[in-house]
A and B are shown apart, each in its own frame.
Chain A
Amino acid sequence: QKEVEQDPGPLSVPEGAIVSLNCTYSNSAFQYFMWYRQYSRKGPELLMYTYSSGNKEDGRFTAQVDKSSKYISLFIRDSQPSDSATYLCAMSGGSGGSNYKLTFGKGTLLTVNP
């Protein structure tokens, strides 16, 4: 079993739809949970991070972490064509030494159609 599992999609939605992206993980030591957006042939850019369990909202984006289920989600409201990209979840153990390493999911390719 891989440490982080993410459905690669592709996922295609109409403009304005609510998008739900998810990852599961197996390593209970993960404390930081991140979502990155990556456009084709570009480096990832950090969208949101969450520490431990809970929800976090930033504009049209909401990140949720359920550590008891080892399940994280990213919701995008009122999706726009400019949201079309690959979304990667990433996790880390936290502070110190190898805990700074990020373990990534495979990424989900999202297309928002006008």
Chain B
Amino acid sequence: GAVVSQHPSWVICKSGTSVKIECRSLDFQATTMFWYRQFPKQSLMLMATSNEGSKATYEQGVEKDKFLINHASLTLSTLTVTSAHPEDSSFYICSARGGGAAYEQYFGPGTRLTVT
């Protein structure tokens, strides 16, 4: 149980275009979803927290107008990178929790974004 999927797993886009990444909880209802970014050989950095039906809470330094997060249902959250630039190239990982303690947070397999 507790499976989280992400789509796509890998995407290449041109500079200036927008890219949408989906995060789905497959076998539980996710009241909260988290979006992380991970650069090579670096740790996961939390970008934002989203609760179903509410606006996302962004971490300091993360541009909310550039990284649009929507958590419209209890099983789906989306991250849209708008007007992507090469410096946005990174590994984006979502996690989801349905309740319980902090460790009961399940990670997706990640999406590798390359902006050319």
Q: Chain A residues in contact with chain B, CB under 8 A? A: 6, 8, 31-32, 34, 36, 41-46, 49, 51, 88, 92-95, 98-107, 109
Can you list 15 pairs linking A and B with CB atoms under 8 Å apart? A6-B43, A36-B107, A43-B93, A46-B106, A88-B43, A95-B102, A100-B49, A100-B102, A101-B49, A102-B95, A102-B102, A104-B44, A105-B43, A106-B43, A107-B43
B95 contacts which chain A residues (CB < 8 A)? 43, 102
Alpha-carbon separation in the docked complex, A31 to B101 (Å): 11
B110/A43 in contact, CB under 8 A = yes
**Bound Cα distance from A34 to B107, whole angstroms:** 13
**Complex Cα–Cα for A106 and B38 (A):** 10
Q: CA of A8 to CA of B110 in the docked complex: distance in angstroms?
A: 21
Q: Residue of A at shortest CB range from B108? A: A43
**A88-B95 Cα distance, complex, nearest whole Å:** 15
Which residues on A sit within 8 Å (CB–CB) of B105? 100, 102
Q: Which residues of B contact A31 (CB under 8 A)?
A: 102
Convert B1-35 into 0s and 1s, putting 1 for each residue whose CB lies closer than 8 angstroms to a CB of A.
00010100000000000000000000000001010
Give the CA-CA distance A42 to B5 in the complex, in Å.
11
Encode B40-52 as 1/0 by CB contact (under 8 A) with A.
Answer: 0111111001000
| Contact of B42 with A102 in the complex, beta carbons under 8 Å | no
A100 near B97 with CB under 8 A, answer yes
Is B112 an interface residue when CB atoms closer than 8 A count as contact? yes
Query: Residues of B within 8 Å of A, CB-based: how many?
Result: 26
A42 B46 Cβ-Cβ under 8 A? no
Instruction: Determine if A92 and B107 form an interchain contact, defined as CB atoms under 8 angstroms apart.
Output: no
Supposing A32-B101, A92-B102, A92-B103 touch, asked if A101 and B110 sit within 8 A by C-beta, the answer is no
Given A8-B41, A100-B32, A105-B43, does the pair A94, B108 have CB atoms closer than 8 Å? no
Residues of B within 8 A of A92 (CB): 102-103
Q: Which residues of B contact A101 (CB under 8 A)?
A: 34, 46, 49, 102
| In the complex with contacts A43-B93, A101-B49, A88-B44 CB distance below 8 A | yes
B46/A94 in contact, CB under 8 A? no
**Interface assignment of B58: CB less than 8 Å from any CB of chain A:** no
